Amino acid sequence: MMGRLNVRGQSYAMPGSGHGDTVPFESLVAGALGMGRLHRGAELVGLVIYARHHDVARELVTRLAAAGSALFERKGWKTVYCYGIAEMLVFELLWPRRCVDCKGDGEYSVRYTALGEQSVSRKKAHRCQRCNGTGRGDLSQREQARVSGIEQSRFIRTWAPRAHEMRLMMLGWEEDCLRHLVRHFDFSAEAG
């Protein structure tokens, strides 16, 4: 259900607050993330991406590294690089690249001709598989290796797919966060 909240940077009038008093969207999101029982990892991801609270980035790295270590231990992989990989993944969140497949839209349209309809071309939106609908692109493997503190050929040979497992874990936290926000704000159309 990964979707994006396309309302970043907007402000909203609070009911009963009088004319012209608006609250930045980031503040509303930060407040909403603190309500209910969202787990801390998902809350931190949300604060970084949607509320631009870059001051919690260090805590997110620590938490991601710990969760990554537990994941790697279960798989029988060395955990020595988990902290560096976590730093790299949070770096990707803080300074996102645009996904090359969907150009940052999170989805792309495909033209097709419906069966039985002659020369009627329709468009259908597909969630981008490459970025899981986030619109964010990864760093190049060379950059990932450098930011993770892993020698490049070693990273490409062994650690890139493992780092991706951790990225998927973090995307899961982002989905938890989005689900929470959708429930809170009823953004059903934006992040379905």
Least distance between Zn ion and beta carbon 128 (Å): 3
Between CA 42 and CA 33 the distance in angstroms is: 9
Of 48 and 99, nearer to Zn ion (C-beta) is 99
- Quick one: which segment of 70-78, 100-108, 158-166, 177-185 binds Zn ion (CB under 5 A)? 100-108
Between CA 154 and CA 147 the distance in angstroms is: 14
The DSSP string of 78-142 is --TTHHHHHHHHHHHHHSPEEPTTTTTSSEEEEEEE-TT-TT-EEEEEEE-TTTTTS-EEPPPHH
The token pair that represents 132 in the structure block:
């899981």
Among 6, 26, 77, 101, binds Zn ion (CB under 5 A): 101
**In which residue are the tokens 């989905």 written?**
175
**In which residue are the tokens 């994006």 written?**
4
Least distance between Zn ion and beta carbon 147 (Å): 21
Is residue 99 close enough to count as binding Zn ion by CB under 5 A?
yes
Of 102 and 171, nearer to Zn ion (C-beta) is 102
Is residue 171 close enough to count as binding Zn ion by CB under 5 A?
no
What is the contact mask toward Zn ion in residues 104 to 143, using x (rule: CB under 5 A)? ------------------------x-xx------------
Q: Site residues (CB under 5 A) for Zn ion?
A: 99, 101-102, 128, 130-131
